[in-house]
Amino acid sequence: MLNLIENETYENENKNNKTEKTNKALTTVFSVLGSLLLGIGVTFLLVGMWDRFPLTGRMIISFLPMLIGQGIAVFTFLKKRENTVWCEGASILWTIGVSATVGMFSYLFGIHLGVLNCLLIDALLTLPIIFIFNATIPLAFYYSAAIAGSLGITSMFSSNLWSAASLILLMIPGYLFTYKNTHSEKKTRFEYCKWISVVAAIVSAVACGFVFECESIILLLSGALFLCLFCLDKKESWASPFYLFGVAGSGLISVLSTFGTMVNEYWDVWNKEIISEGIFAIVVTVALIIFGFIKGSESFEGNKAKTAFCVASVIGLTVNPIASALYKTPAMSMVIALSFFTVTVVQAITLIVKGAQERKYFSLNIGLAMAISLLFFALNSYYSDPLIMGIAFMVSGTVLFIANYFITKKHKPEMVLKENTQEVPDDEK
């Protein structure tokens, strides 16, 4: 009987606890909703009554976001500096406050800055915030604003070179921040910085090429960047952004370069008007390659596949500018096309062999994808027959399936063996 009473009491207590937890959660949800609605209401009020405020009133309201952001930042800096959540929160509020005030003042006082130039100013004002609080969340905003703002420089100075140079220079502080933090600490939020930085680098390299309006420059800069990323990688895991984008990107650039020469579409001749842009692109490319090889030299030791892949990439990138300049005669164009084709085939083979030997699905499949792409492009260029294309698709699919099946099959016995040889704890013996 006593047990029954005890059980009932225990169950009632449990129920009460659960109800309390549910009530707390509901309170939090509805409080957040209430705050959100309040904030939206205040915003709408301001928007609706904006024109009725005198200029001084509007000026004061426009200043408030920055002052509030700075106030929170100062408080966090003085009292809560060791708390990561406070630092990240303060940094994002400060960033929003600064951006809002700059935008509103620009609108209010008729400064014809334009959205892109405003973003450039926001990026420059946000950068110190990242370093003061060691904050990672504003980094994505910084990269986006810097890239967009750099594109605005073209219209401000009527210069593509300045725009491209700023695209590269503005990224550097972000990379330094990421390098400093990922080198010293292994936290998830700094891994996020790494991913964001890699994506930003790729976007800025492609944007550089678009600014110059030259496809070969896009391929050159992107190819150099992907090669540099691959050289810097030490993990050889697709979970690392360097490896993921380095391998996939290099493969893609090689295939596109080959495709470009095969179908005669890609190659702009570097005429006198864009010679300075061409030289700029070559300088950046060489710098990236040298940096990648020097900084990542350790990862090449004993890794023949990686060495072969990277050397082939360098040859491809070297052929790129030559191709653009000498693509006039049919004989040269054939030589260049064969060069790219050879480079791509070598890269594909190294990836396939490495993937098969070390059972790395990612490199194996990227290598197979490169080989299949070359096949498709060649067939499509010279035959375009649905029957032949159909057979090609079937063969490719079969090869992919078989390759992955064999790798998986080989992988399973090893895993079983490892499980079986795990040590049995003493108390279970």
Partner 1 sequence: MKNKKMTIFLVIVILIQLSVPVTMLVNYEKKMKEFNANYKEINVYIDGVYCYEDSFGIYSNGLNSYDYSKNYVVFNEVEPGFYRWEKTDEKPEDKIYVDLNERTSDFDYLDYRKNDMPDGYDFYDIYYTNLYDKVEEIENIDKNHCEGPETKAYMVLKVYNGIFEIKEVYINSIPLDEYYYKVQNDEIDIARYDYYIGN
Residues that bind partner 1 (CB under 8 A): 59, 62-63, 66, 70, 73-74, 77, 98, 101-102, 105-106, 109-112, 121, 125, 128-129, 132
Q: Which is nearer to partner 1, 47 or 415 (CB)?
A: 47
Q: How far is CA 87 from the centre of its chain?
A: 24
User: Least distance to partner 1 from the beta carbon of 146, Å?
Assistant: 17
Q: Which is nearer to partner 1, 96 or 211 (CB)?
A: 96
- DSSP letter (8 states) at residue 240: S
User: Least distance to partner 1 from the beta carbon of 233, Å?
Assistant: 33
Tokens of 268: 């702009």
3-state secondary structure of 186: coil
Kindly report the three-state secondary structure assignment for every residue of 317-358. Answer: HHHHHHHHHHCCCHHHHHHHHHHHHHHHHHHHHHHHHHHHHH
User: Least distance to partner 1 from the beta carbon of 81, Å?
Assistant: 9
Q: Which is nearer to partner 1, 129 or 224 (CB)?
A: 129
Query: Is-contact 28 60, C-beta < 8 A?
Result: no
- Please state, in angstroms and rounded to a whole number, the distance separating the CA atoms of residues 243 and 246: 5
Q: Which is nearer to partner 1, 138 or 355 (CB)?
A: 138
Q: Which is nearer to partner 1, 66 or 171 (CB)?
A: 66
The residue written with tokens 């070297």 in the block is: 318
User: Least distance to partner 1 from the beta carbon of 177, Å?
Assistant: 15
Q: Dihedral, CA atoms, 55, 60, 61, 67, nearest 10 degrees?
A: 160
Q: What's the maximum distance between 2 C-alpha atoms anywhere in the chain? A: 101
What one-letter code names the amino acid at 14? N
User: Least distance to partner 1 from the beta carbon of 77, Å?
Assistant: 6
Q: Which is nearer to partner 1, 59 or 315 (CB)?
A: 59
The residue written with tokens 């790219």 in the block is: 340
User: Least distance to partner 1 from the beta carbon of 64, Å?
Assistant: 11
